[in-house]
Amino acid sequence: MFELSLMCPEDRVEEVSDALDALDALSVSVEDADAQTDAEQALFGEPGMPPPKDGWQRSRVVALFASETAAREAEQLLAVQDFFTGCVVLGLSRVPEQDWVRLTQSQFAPVDITPDFWIVPTWHELPPQARRSIRLDPGLAFGTGTHPTTRMCLRWIARRGAASAHTENPLGRVLDYGCGSGILAIAAAKFGAIDIDAVDIDPAAVESTVLNAQANGVQLHAGLPDKAQGLYDTVLANILATPLKVLAPLLCSYVGEGGHLVLAGILERQAQELQEAYAPWIHLEVADAEDGWILMTATR
């Protein structure tokens, strides 16, 4: 296979992507060319925010082709199109042949959240020290336990569950807002929660949550955000700082008296702006930190 890489301004991404599809690209992906820099832009589709755009101000568009000839023909045809103005070809390169299934599996090893709580892909044996575990394979929805934001949420759930081990339902009624793969909701079930709502704006995430819950033998209610109703003892939201700020009044409205709010997807430098956004309703504090990310919690 061969990879054709292009740099496109935001207003050209859709046309270029459609043209690549028409030119028999095996796949087309778009990413922020300024990712991991101060110019990085996050795109969201949360309630109250504009719908996601097709690309970033500077988007890197990558297309895979079955042959070098097909990739070069696509490059030449794009170059003479009016809509290609402002776009630049970054390069054309061969993609090494690999066993993609084995490669993917090799990148996902069991993850220890605490010494006795593990996230384990289905192709691995359970570690002998794993008293609790979640079986989870990488998929379309975010949340495999490998990202610091997910690990910190899981640690909080594990510690809260262990600290209240004498209680039949230590986490109380739980809401996982922006559930992704459902990993946090499943973890809550593993630590005793029995009334769990997991919601997401993406139907694929809802489906993923349902399937992962079934695979782990736990009961929960998954659906779109309007599925969330009433007050909860534990509200979990592992999203990103910008949508978390927009969602502040909504998320706080779900936290019952004495309940806990747990937020992740926040960089260390964003702590104060999150505290200010939530100050009218609740006082957030930094509860955990890992690799530049923080976990913020509050008790009503």
Q: Is the dihedral of CA 5, 20, 140, 127 positive or negative?
A: negative
Torsion of CA 209, 136, 187, 185, to 10 degrees: -10
Give CA–CA dist 222/175, Å, rounded: 10
At 226, the amino acid letter reads D
What are the E-state strand segments in 49-101? 58-65, 88-94
Q: Which residues contact 281 (CB under 8 A, 6 or more apart)?
A: 248, 249, 252, 253
Of residues 41, 35, 44, 46, the one with CA closest to residue 57: 41
Is 216 flagged in the annotation as binding? no
- β-bridge pairing 255-267 and 232-238: parallel
Is 172 flagged in the annotation as binding? no
Of residues 10, 87, 97, the one with CA closest to residue 56: 10
Is 150 flagged in the annotation as binding? yes
Is 238 flagged in the annotation as binding? yes
Q: Which residues of 27-47 are buried (b: 16+ CB within 10 A; e: fewer)?
A: ebebebbeeeeeeeeeeeebe
Give the residue ranges of the annotated binding site. Answer: 150, 178, 200, 238
Give the residue ranges of the annotated binding site for S-adenosyl-L-methionine. Answer: 150, 178, 200, 238
